[in-house]
Amino acid sequence: MLAAWTDVLADSSQYRRRCYVRAFFAYVEGFMSIIAATIRFEQERGAISLSRQDLALLLDETYSLNEQGKGHTRTSYPGFLSKFRFLLRLLPESHGIETAPDYGGTGWDAFVRALDVRHRVTHPKVSQDVDVSEAELSLLHEAAEWFVNAYNDTYLLSRIALLTRPHAPGDAPSGRVNSSVKCNARRGSAARGDHVSDA
């Protein structure tokens, strides 16, 4: 993702801008996969305990019965934003952390609108749909900054909680992590590239 942004700074052509849009959301999707895999691993080894509902949602599964009374598992396809918010809620919650990204500010709005830009350039209807304006480029940058803070507020705090919480191996989590730790974790910005690998 940083490589794509560096390319835009060196050559702000439409091609480079489109690459940055795609690279950013590819990074977000990879982050979501890591969170889902992390939660599944910790659930399987007994480090955390999920409700049946959350586990089914995590696995993208729904269940039904046929006329013979046999159960069937079906794959569910939640929307991108719904699954994103679900994972960012479930990870810290499963570790007893009372924290959440800021969904009330301009950063989240920028993230949602940037996703629309990604959809448009990926599935254009007319030739102009593949163009990324200066305003949309700034929108992507604001969305990236919000995403880095969301990463720090959820994934990093959950890792800290898992490493520092005293419990026997395999025990389910107990107790709460002081949410003031958030202040120390939220130091990244997309401009500096804190906690974002060069993908």
Alpha-carbon span 186 to 111, nearest angstrom: 18
Q: Which residues contact 103 (CB under 8 A, 6 or more apart)?
A: 85
Nearest to residue 117, comparing CAs of 18, 12, 16, 2?
18
Chain mean pLDDT for the chain: 81
Alpha-carbon span 7 to 11, nearest angstrom: 6
Q: How confident is the model at residue 100, as a pLDDT?
A: 87
Instruction: Compare 184 and 81 and report the one with higher pLDDT.
Output: 81
Please check whether residue 15 is in contact with residue 133, taking contact to mean a CB–CB distance below 8 angstroms: no
- For 104, other C-beta atoms within 10 Å of its C-beta total 8
Instruction: Write down the H helix ranges in the chain.
Output: 2-10, 14-44, 52-58, 80-94, 106-122, 134-151, 157-164, 181-185
**Residue 72 pairs with which residues in a beta bridge?**
64
Q: Tokens in use for 55?
A: 């586990």
* Tens-place pLDDT, residues 100-109: 899 999 999 9
- For 79, other C-beta atoms within 10 Å of its C-beta total 8
Predicted confidence (pLDDT) at residue 189 exceeds the cutoff of 50: no
Q: Tokens in use for 142?
A: 């604001």
Predicted confidence (pLDDT) at residue 188 exceeds the cutoff of 50: no
User: Nearest 5°: CA angle at 59, between 1 and 53?
Assistant: 125
DSSP classification of residue 172: P
Percent of the chain with pLDDT over 70: 81
Q: How confident is the model at residue 111, as a pLDDT?
A: 97
Please check whether residue 19 is in contact with residue 7, taking contact to mean a CB–CB distance below 8 angstroms: yes
Predicted confidence (pLDDT) at residue 168 exceeds the cutoff of 50: no
Q: How confident is the model at residue 166, as a pLDDT?
A: 60
Q: How confident is the model at residue 167, as a pLDDT?
A: 52
Residue 63: in which H helix or E strand, if any?
Answer: strand 61-65
Predicted confidence (pLDDT) at residue 138 exceeds the cutoff of 90: yes
Please check whether residue 8 is in contact with residue 20, taking contact to mean a CB–CB distance below 8 angstroms: yes
